[in-house]
């Protein structure tokens, strides 16, 4: 048995776990949970095992198909297959292909569904099993338990420019997080600017002639978040 084929076979076996985690642990290119490579690999192996158990059980119950574990073990340890075993694998190529396509799809969509369920039943930052993403919850206005989702979020940022301090206020349009979940930048509209002098708000407001303003978090000295609710009455 070619050792390259053995390595490829092992990759196929564990790939479902990584597919699952790629959808469960990420949202909008954000890593929802910080994990070391060892922890991610161990979790991927465990998830792959669960997915194979589910797929094998469904194949047996629905299609009356079984797995020859002796052949699987021989491939894993790079042992030579006898002619009858080679014929068995060759004659089952279509079934094997369908099995792996099915388990890849199962893992992919299971990750999406499980992430959706976790957000649904842990909808705010105070939930027991919420993700460790404080900025995601804060900037979406889903912080406190049983608190309604705001119609909009108003952001006020304090920035220094040319030895002067300004307050930039506007409606939050979007925000971007770094892969580790920290805030990278915010996008606000209807922007107003006020200058501070000696920590006193001069109340000289100027509207910026722009549709949106992008502010990098590393440039922000302080940030205030206000949730706005629009009455239906």
Tens digits of per-residue pLDDT, 171-202? 999 998 887 778 999 999 989 888 887 555 55
Backbone angles phi, psi at 169, to 5 degrees: -120, 145
Identify the H or E element spanning 60. Answer: helix 37-63
Cα separation, 41 vs 45, in Å, equals 6
Q: With contact defined as beta carbons under 8 Å apart, do 156 and 168 qualify?
A: yes
pTM flag (> 0.85): no
| Per-residue confidence band for 128, with pLDDT thresholds at 50, 70 and 90 | confident
Bridge partners (DSSP) listed for residue 26:
31
Give pLDDT tens digits for 151-176.
899 999 999 888 888 899 999 999 98
Backbone CA torsion sign across 214, 218, 222, 223? positive
CA-closest candidate to residue 65, choices 99, 88, 89? 99
- Supply the pLDDT for residue 55: 95
Residues 6 or more apart from 37 whose CB is under 8 A from it? none
CA-CA-CA-CA torsion sign (118, 124, 126, 130): positive
């Amino acid at each position: 048995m070619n050792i390259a084929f053995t390595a490829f076979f092992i990759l196929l076996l564990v790939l479902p776990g990584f597919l699952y985690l790629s959808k469960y642990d990420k949202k909008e290119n954000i890593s929802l949970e910080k994990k070391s490579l060892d922890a991610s690999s161990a979790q991927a192996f465990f998830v792959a095992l669960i997915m194979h158990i589910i797929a094998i059980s469904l194949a047996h119950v629905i299609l009356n198909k079984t797995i020859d574990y002796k052949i699987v073990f021989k491939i894993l340890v790079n042992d030579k297959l006898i002619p009858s075993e080679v014929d068995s694998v060759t004659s089952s190529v279509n079934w094997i292909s369908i099995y792996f396509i099915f388990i890849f799809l199962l893992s992919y969509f299971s990750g999406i569904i499980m992430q959706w369920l976790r957000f649904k039943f842990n909808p705010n930052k105070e939930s027991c099993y919420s993700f460790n993403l404080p900025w995601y919850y804060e900037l979406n206005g889903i912080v406190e338990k049983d608190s309604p989702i705001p119609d909009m979020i108003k952001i006020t940022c304090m920035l220094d420019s040319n030895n002067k301090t300004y307050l930039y206020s506007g409606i939050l349009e979007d925000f971007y997080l770094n892969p580790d979940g920290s805030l990278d930048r915010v996008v606000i509209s209807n922007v107003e600017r006020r200058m501070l002098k000696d920590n006193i708000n001069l109340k000289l407001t100027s509207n910026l002639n722009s549709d949106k303003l992008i502010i990098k978090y590393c440039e922000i000295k302080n940030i205030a978040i206000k949730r706005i609710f629009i009455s239906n009455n």
